């Protein structure tokens, strides 16, 4: 690969593997769903093999593909995930996004199956989705370029999209931010679901979210939570010790 070093690719592979394992360990991701990361050339990405376990995903389970889904590197005895177009088409359309998660969160997906009930920001860390979380109407897998582009059209300038009767997709600027956004996305969906059982939910207004966002140090928050989840993963043996140095955030909080 031209344009960036092998060590950058190796580091990115460890980040994608670790993020997948940590999301699985924390109960966000299950037996399916996937994480991708844009590589430094901007035109290629890492995505896992369709049948590799999320519980112990390793760098050798990852493929390098281009934005048209062509495999440039990876195990010839398997293939990338079926819904790679979710990742490739978001990365093609959105230069502000470098990492994508697709998963099947049970509570958030409920909001695609009930008339007149939208998933809206309830908790302050859901400010990330204050512009809205649209629902893509197609329930089939996003497994062609055409379906990927239609989904991206539904997503628009927002940072998340729900897939009807299927799951969710979020995009973030880095793997650490993606991990943290995934946790907050699930927290927020649960908060709305639980609040609706207590009474009439009072979502955050756009003004409240904007005010929170204006004063919020997003990078510091991502570093803090990434450090927390990484520590839990290391302690539980979910993350190999030899990955720790590559995954340690450089910034101080
Ligand atoms: Zn799916």
Q: Tell me, what CATH number does 25's domain have?
A: 3.40.225.10
Quick check: is 1 in a domain?
Answer: no
Q: Give pLDDT, residue 5.
A: 74
Quick check: is 104 in a domain?
Answer: yes
Strands (E), the chain: 34-38, 44-48, 62-66, 71-73, 99-103, 135-136, 160-163, 167-172
Residue 144 — pLDDT band, cuts 50, 70, 90? Answer: very high
Q: Give pLDDT, residue 168.
A: 98
Average of pLDDT values for 115-143?
A: 95
Domain interval for residue 219: 6-247
Is the pLDDT reported for residue 152 higher than 80? yes
Quick check: is 116 in a domain?
Answer: yes
What is the tally of structural domains in the chain? 1
Is the pLDDT reported for residue 53 higher than 80? yes
Q: Give pLDDT, residue 114.
A: 95
Average of pLDDT values for 139-152?
A: 96
Q: Give pLDDT, residue 251.
A: 59
Which protein residues have a CB closer than 5 Å to ligand 1 (ion)? 167
Ligand 1 centroid–CA 200 distance in Å is 31
Is the pLDDT reported for residue 132 higher than 90? yes
**How many residues can be counted in the chain?**
253
Phi-psi region of 153 (alpha: psi -120 to 50; beta: other; left: phi over 0): alpha
Among 42, 20, 6, residue whose Cα is nearest residue 179: 20
Quick check: is 205 in a domain?
Answer: yes
- CA gap 113, 100 in Å, rounded: 23
Ligand 1 centroid–CA 142 distance in Å is 7
Quick check: is 253 in a domain?
Answer: no
In the chain, DSSP finds a helix count (H) and a strand count (E) of 8, 8
Residue-averaged pLDDT of the chain: 95
Q: Is 204 helix (H, G, I), strand (E, B) or coil?
A: coil
Ligand 1 centroid–CA 102 distance in Å is 7
Quick check: is 218 in a domain?
Answer: yes
| Residues 6+ positions from 79 with CB-CB distance below 8 Å | 49, 50, 63, 71
Quick check: is 252 in a domain?
Answer: no
- List the structure tokens of 37: 């990361």
Q: Give pLDDT, residue 1.
A: 46
pTM of the model: 0.95
Quick check: is 182 in a domain?
Answer: yes
Ligand 1 centroid–CA 168 distance in Å is 8
Residue 133 sits at the vertex; the CA angle it makes with 130 and 136, to the nearest 5 degrees, is 165
Average of pLDDT values for 111-140?
A: 96
Is the pLDDT reported for residue 242 higher than 50? yes
């Amino acid at each position: 690969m031209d344009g960036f070093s092998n060590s950058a690719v190796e580091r990115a592979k460890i980040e994608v593997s670790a993020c997948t394992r940590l999301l699985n360990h924390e109960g966000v991701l299950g037996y399916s769903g996937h994480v991708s990361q844009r590589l430094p050339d901007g035109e290629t990405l890492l995505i896992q093999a369709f049948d590799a376990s999320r519980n112990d995903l390793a760098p050798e389970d990852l493929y390098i593909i281009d934005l048209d889904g062509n495999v440039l590197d990876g195990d010839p005895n398997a293939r990338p995930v079926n819904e790679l177009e979710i990742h490739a088409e978001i990365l093609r359309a959105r230069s502000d996004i470098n990492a994508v998660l697709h998963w099947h969160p049970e509570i958030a997906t409920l909001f695609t199956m009930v008339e007149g009930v939208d998933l809206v920001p309830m908790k302050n860390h859901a400010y990330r989705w204050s512009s809205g979380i649209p629902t893509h109407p197609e329930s089939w897998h996003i497994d062609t370029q055409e379906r990927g582009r239609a989904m991206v059209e539904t997503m628009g300038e927002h940072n998340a999209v729900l897939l009807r009767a299927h799951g969710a997709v979020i995009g973030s600027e880095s793997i650490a931010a993606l991990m943290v956004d995934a946790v907050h996305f699930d927290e927020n969906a649960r908060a709305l679901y639980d609040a609706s059982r207590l009474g009439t939910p009072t979502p955050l207004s756009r003004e409240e979210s904007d005010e929170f966002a204006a004063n919020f140090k997003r990078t510091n928050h991502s570093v803090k939570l990434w450090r927390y989840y990484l520590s839990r993963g290391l302690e539980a043996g979910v993350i190999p010790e030899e990955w720790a140095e590559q995954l340690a955030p450089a910034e101080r909080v």
